[in-house]
Structure 1
Amino acid sequence: MAETLSMNKSELIERASESMKQHLGVPDWTLREKLALTCRILFAHGHDSGLAGQITARAETTGNYYTQRLGLGFDEITASNLLEVDEDLEVLSGDGMANPANRFHTWIYRARPDVKCIVHSHPIHISALSMLERPLKISHMDACMLYDDIAFLKEWPGVPVGNSEGELIAEAIGDKRAILLAHHGLIIACRSVEEACSMALQCERAAQLQMLAESSGTIQDIKPELGREAHDWILQEKRSQATFAYYARRLLRDIDKSNDNPLG
């Protein structure tokens, strides 16, 4: 006789979560490799905007972080050409310079000890919403990882290379994992590289869905308790890791026959 048919939903969620911890294995990539893979994945999913956008992750030394070299696009990043920089953006290892706009990352890291990875990009649909000064509307299950977890900054501070911009952005994002910047783009601040990559992809997809839906009618709200339930379900650590591994496998299959290996 089936045992699960008499269980309530919370029991089934807990059961499934424990099963995921047991069965969802992930590759043992290094931090640098995960950053390089994320850059390539973001490029492949419409987050390319020339040299705009950055990715960082906390390094092993407190106050330091890894980032890409200014002058390279997301599609050119490898594990070996990443830089390690300090809070002044001085390069500690690697060749070249960091993007001066990385300064706001330091302010977020200082305000948020829980954040291990930050992604900033200018994908098309997010950027279009930003031009309308319109917040991202979360009304689809796939986007519920963002439910009550994406802020909106209507005041555009201009090029974010100053400390005032960093303070403004760090305050505006608060304790949330994402923020849409009016007239600018997207910032993701997450507990891991895998979570940041998955959330960045979903933000752009949610923006695309929103623009399609709004062209046909009025987007309807979902029940808050169900939105929060879906948020917590999707953002389980093992699920984020498995999602990232899936996108990485897709990417690596596409470049398997080339010498352009992001893990090099």
Structure 2
Amino acid sequence: MPDPYYASVDDLKQELVHGFRAMALNDLGLGLLAHLTARMPGADTYWTYQIGQSVEEVRLSDLREVGFDAKAVDGTSPINPSILCHGDVYRARPDITCILHHHSKASIALGAIGANLAPIDRNSGRWHDEINIVEDFDAPEIANQGTSMVDALGSGKALILKHHGALVTGRNIRETVVAAAELDRAMEVQLMAMGAGTPAEIPQAEIDDCKKFLASDMFADGTWNWYMRTMARRGLLDGASE
């Protein structure tokens, strides 16, 4: 399993479980309506959890290997049909190894008014020219929905799904989870600013500078380690390895 981020499948699966718990830490889960998947290196499959739990409840034993057709490799586990579009994205973008989808209040609100994220601070500047809107989003389990999402994503890193939240991609699990949390905070700030007036955008030089740091491995790793310490203190990792 040659992979630059994980020494073994077990390491990948453990970080995936921690990714689900970190989604809960950042309020990116809503009951059963949040997805996190991680591509299996060297195969047309990915790992996720069987439907029936919220993100803070996911354990190692709940993970299932799923084909790009959203069917469990073991042929029996109940898998959320909404992850069908993940296979389309993985197939079209070999550089993407993790996908996170959530229905946060900020992402739904921003999408409902048809607004994209504007570079009004360093957090949002990091996403400049890397996030698009899917205007005709219907339902992720519909076969052709993945095609429209792939087209909208292009070479970018995230999507606002109109009336349906956000989808964030990354090179590994921790990068994706951290990016999703930072993106959601940027959306909240923009909505607050729009409610108070017309937000001014930061200059291109600052956009370029914040991209270098906020999209770096150093930022993702450091933030992830903070998540892990925080979750340990709060008991949010209890039962994760079961």
Within the alignment, does 1:120 sit opposite 2:101 as a pair? yes
Q: Find the counterpart in structure 2 of residue 220 from structure 1.
A: 200
The CA deviation string for residues 125-171 of structure 1, in whole angstroms up to 9 with x for no partner, is 11111221221222111333322221112222x21112210000011
Within the alignment, does 1:187 sit opposite 2:188 as a pair? no
Paired residue for 2:156, among 146, 158, 176? 176
Q: Find the counterpart in structure 1 of residue 223 from structure 2.
A: 243
After TM superposition, the structure 1 = structure 2 runs for residues 57-76 of structure 1, keeping only pairs within 5 Å, are: 57-76=38-57
Query: Contact 2:111–2:133 (CA<8 Å) still a contact in 1?
Result: no
Query: Contact 2:125–2:202 (CA<8 Å) still a contact in 1?
Result: no
Query: Contact 2:51–2:78 (CA<8 Å) still a contact in 1?
Result: yes
Report the TM-score when normalising by structure 1: 0.83
- What stretches of structure 2 of length at least 5 have no aligned partner? 1-7
Structure 1 SS opposite 2:188: helix
Structure 2 SS opposite 1:137: coil
Q: Find the counterpart in structure 2 of residue 138 from structure 1.
A: 119
Within the alignment, does 1:261 sit opposite 2:235 as a pair? no
Query: Contact 1:145–1:235 (CA<8 Å) still a contact in 2?
Result: yes
Q: Which moved more, 1:107-116 or 1:38-47?
A: 38-47
Q: Find the counterpart in structure 2 of residue 35 from structure 1.
A: 16
Question: Aligned pairs, how many?
Answer: 234
Percent of matched pairs sharing the same residue: 26
Query: Contact 2:118–2:124 (CA<8 Å) still a contact in 1?
Result: no
Q: CA distance change for structure 1 residues 161 and 231 in 2, over 3 Å: closer, same or farther?
A: same
Query: Which structure has the bigger radius of gyration?
Result: 1
Q: Find the counterpart in structure 2 of residue 8 from structure 1.
A: none
CA-atom RMSD, angstroms? 1.9
Distance (whole Å) between structure 1 residues aligned to residue 166 and residue 75 of structure 2: 27
Query: Contact 2:121–2:201 (CA<8 Å) still a contact in 1?
Result: no
Distance (whole Å) between structure 2 residues aligned to residue 212 and residue 199 of structure 1: 20
Report the TM-score when normalising by structure 2: 0.90
Q: Which moved more, 1:88-97 or 1:70-79?
A: 88-97
Within the alignment, does 1:210 sit opposite 2:190 as a pair? yes
Structure 1 residue 179: Cα displacement: 0.9
The one-letter code matched in structure 2 to 1:208 is E
The CA deviation string for residues 63-114 of structure 1, in whole angstroms up to 9 with x for no partner, is 0100111111111112221111112222225972211111100111111111
Structure 2 SS opposite 1:215: helix
Paired residue for 2:177, among 185, 192, 197? 197
Query: Contact 1:55–1:117 (CA<8 Å) still a contact in 2?
Result: yes
Distance (whole Å) between structure 1 residues aligned to residue 221 and residue 176 of structure 2: 10
Structure 1 residue 196: Cα displacement: 0.3
Distance (whole Å) between structure 2 residues aligned to residue 250 and residue 145 of structure 1: 25
Distance (whole Å) between structure 1 residues aligned to residue 61 and residue 222 of structure 2: 24
Distance (whole Å) between structure 1 residues aligned to residue 41 and residue 78 of structure 2: 20
- What stretches of structure 1 of length at least 5 have no aligned partner? 1-27
The one-letter code matched in structure 2 to 1:72 is Q
The CA deviation string for residues 19-38 of structure 1, in whole angstroms up to 9 with x for no partner, is xxxxxxxxx98211211111
